Amino acid sequence: MPFEIKAYETLTLHSPAEHVLQVTLNRPEVANAMNTQMGLDMQAVFDGLCADPNAYRCVILTGSGGKAFCAGGDLKQRNGMTDEEWQAQHLIFERMVRAMIACPIPMIAAVNGAAYAGGLEMVLCCDFAYAATHARFALTEVTLGIMPGAGGTQNLPRTVGARRAKEIMLTGRPFTAQEASDWGMVNRLCAPEALLGEVLETAERIACNAPISTRQIKHAVNFGGQMDLASALMFEIEVYNRMVPTDDRREGVAAFNEKRKPNFKGR
């Protein structure tokens, strides 16, 4: 079914520019902490985008309010859960993360404040991130007797390297936006009031490009990075050849020669 913007209990969705979808975590009264309903809402949104990848050309993920992107799991809701209830809730979060990672549309995290535990893991599910200068990050699970279980042990080492990732996860120690930038986890630091504007400018730039091309680039990087180089180079050509017979490839070349802006249709 075609993807539609609709109301969710824990999220707000809107399109701030053509072909761009902004998903905002909307529980500011609890620092946008993830409860069961947020897991279900996020899963529904990203399953919907996976089923209709032509719906948008770039997705922005951010948090409501100016203090927190997402503080992680809602520990008040989790207090007193049985082991079975905890695992049932976590399965929802696992499915949410798989839907986010599977989303073929380029995704940018706009980290407007603290991104702790599951909040940081959601940032790591995005293709890249811009952060407000006051943002802070941590994977604090070890201080609670658990461990990252929403992709953190896999996505963080692939982003900052295994040794840095192990220090972050084994200590649970928070780190600054500047450190996140220095370690390659954040692509750009922004003044808090400028964050969404700068993210939107980049999202619009991505959305102006051929959508099959941007999705195939994401596909090639994500899967090729798990292969040896020779296999990855062969995979790259398979991914590349998907674009040769497209209308967008012909339009791009025509527009270049006619000295005009291309009008890509995603076909």
Catalytic machinery residues: 121, 141
Cβ 18 vs Cβ 63: under 8 Å: no
**What is the distance of C-alpha 105 from the center of its chain?**
10
Q: Where are the alpha helices (DSSP H) in 52-115?
A: 75-78, 83-102
Rounded-to-integer distance, Cα 15 and Cα 200, Å: 10
Rounded-to-integer distance, Cα 160 and Cα 178, Å: 14
Rounded-to-integer distance, Cα 69 and Cα 82, Å: 28
Q: Which amino acid is at 258?
A: E
Rounded-to-integer distance, Cα 242 and Cα 216, Å: 8
Rounded-to-integer distance, Cα 180 and Cα 54, Å: 32
What DSSP character marks residue 184? T
Cβ 129 vs Cβ 86: under 8 Å: no
- Strands of 107-111's sheet in order across: 11-17, 20-25, 58-63, 107-111, 128-132, 188-190
Rounded-to-integer distance, Cα 191 and Cα 194, Å: 5
Residue 134 in 3-state DSSP? Answer: coil
